[in-house]
């Protein structure tokens, strides 16, 4: 598995730079290590945000804080390691696509406030929400879901969890950031654009590979069918 240093050296190799770094935390002292230390976290988080990666997806029961605005029933604090919110779910939801829930009008349905109705009374679990920042710079999530569970992309710093195609795409994105300070001038701009294009190609392959490693068949619980 690639380490942070391996990814940085791969990015430098994409630029044709013969230097190798041995540490970026702290930087070893070379200009390349300084640049990698500055840009690697940005490139990593950008690549993580680009897709709902299996290795970076998690769930967390949210901590209720303060009071919500009149338009929302509940206010929760967003986990500090959250890169991107994917869905707000009821605590008993099997997934964030759909689950077999009773139709509207039943007593069980009342336990899922804010559930979205679709034709024929089928119920889908993802809940409406909004993420904002308060005056204390806390990221807050507003929703009508009681005991909300957040499914989200988390910040992953352990590179041993990165699949090979993610490593490749991350190294290309990092190379596009490094091209300016390493190559410099108009040539650096051209190299940065070329590496960014390579990143787009590789990450497209990576997202397809990642998506193929999950299979979810949404369960449509439609009352007029289930009651037959």
Examine residue 108 and state whether it is found in any structural domain, yes or no.
yes
Kindly state whether residues 128 and 92 are assigned to the same domain.
yes
What confidence score (pLDDT) does residue 94 get? 63
In this prediction, residues 60-85 reach a mean pLDDT of 92
Residue 72 lies in a domain: yes
Q: 74: which strand partners?
A: 143
Of 156, 184, 199, which residue constitutes the final position of a domain? 156
CA distance 142 to 221: 27
Q: What is the DSSP string of the chain?
A: ---HHHHHHHHHHHTT-----S-BTTB-SSHHHHHHHHHHHHHHHHHHHTS--GGGEEEEEPEE-S---TT-SEEEEPPTTEEEEEEEE-TT-S-SS----PPTTSTGGGGSTTPEE-GGG-EE--B-EEEEE-TT--EEEEES-TT-EEEEEEP---GGGS-HHHHHHHHHHHHHHHHHHHH-HHHHHHHHHHHHHHHHHHHHHHHHHHHTT---------HHHHT-
| In a shared domain, residues 34 and 119 | no
- Residues 107, 46, single domain; the answer is no
Determine the structural domain holding residue 93 and report its residue range.
Answer: 56-156
Listed range (56-65, 70-79, 98-107, 203-212) with the worst mean pLDDT: 98-107
If one compares 219 and 2, the residue with the highest pLDDT of the two is: 2
Q: Is 82 domain-assigned? A: yes
Q: Does the residue 216 lie in any domain? A: no
For the chain, the average pLDDT equals: 84
Pair 4, 24: CB distance under 8 Å:
yes
**Is the same domain home to 140 and 62?**
yes
pLDDT surpassing 60 at residue 88: yes
> Looking at the domain assignment, is residue 172 inside a domain?
yes
Q: Is 227 a member of any domain? A: no
The structure tokens 């099997």 sit at: 94
> Do 67 and 151 fall within a single domain?
yes
Give the chain's domain count. Answer: 2
Domain membership of residue 67 (yes or no) is yes
* 166 and 132 within one domain: no
Q: Are residue 83 and residue 152 in the same domain, yes or no?
A: yes
pLDDT at 210 over 70: yes
Same domain, 99 and 150: yes
Same domain, 39 and 126: no
Contact 177, 43 (CB under 8 A): yes
pLDDT tens digits for 118-172? 444 444 467 899 999 988 899 999 999 999 999 999 999 999 999 999 999 999 9
Say if residues 89 and 125 touch (Cβ distance below 8 Å).
Answer: yes
For residue range 26-57, what is the model confidence (pLDDT) as tens digits?
A: 999 999 999 999 999 999 999 999 999 999 99
Closest C-alpha among 54, 63, 50, 69 to residue 150: 63
Q: Are residues 149 and 173 part of one domain? A: no
Q: Is 219 part of any domain?
A: no
Looking at the fold, whether 139 and 78 belong to one and the same domain comes out as: yes
133 plus 182 within the same structural domain: no
Q: What is the pLDDT of residue 69?
A: 80
Q: Is the pLDDT assigned to residue 103 strictly greater than 60?
A: no
């Amino acid at each position: 598995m690639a380490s942070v240093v391996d990814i940085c050296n791969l990015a430098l190799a994409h630029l044709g730079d013969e230097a190798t770094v041995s540490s970026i935390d702290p930087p070893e002292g070379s200009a390349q290590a300084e640049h990698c230390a500055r840009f690697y976290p940005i490139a990593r988080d950008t690549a993580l945000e680009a897709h709902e990666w299996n290795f970076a997806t998690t769930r967390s029961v949210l901590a209720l804080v303060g009071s919500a605005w009149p338009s929302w029933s509940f206010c929760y604090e967003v986990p500090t390691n959250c890169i991107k919110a994917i869905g707000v779910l009821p605590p008993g939801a099997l997934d964030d696509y759909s689950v077999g829930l009773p139709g509207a009008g039943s007593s069980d349905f009342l336990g899922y406030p804010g559930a979205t109705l679709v034709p024929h009374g089928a119920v889908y679990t993802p809940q409406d929400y909004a993420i904002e920042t308060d005056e204390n710079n806390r990221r807050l999530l507003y929703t009508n879901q009681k005991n909300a569970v957040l499914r989200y992309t988390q910040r992953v710093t352990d590179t041993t969890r990165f699949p090979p195609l993610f490593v490749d795409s991350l190294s290309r994105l990092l190379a596009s950031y490094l091209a300016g300070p390493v190559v410099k001038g108009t040539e650096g701009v051209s190299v940065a654009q070329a590496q960014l294009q390579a990143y787009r190609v590789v990450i497209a392959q990576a997202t397809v590979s990642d998506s193929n490693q999950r299979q979810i068949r949404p369960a449509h619980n439609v009352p007029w069918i289930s009651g037959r």
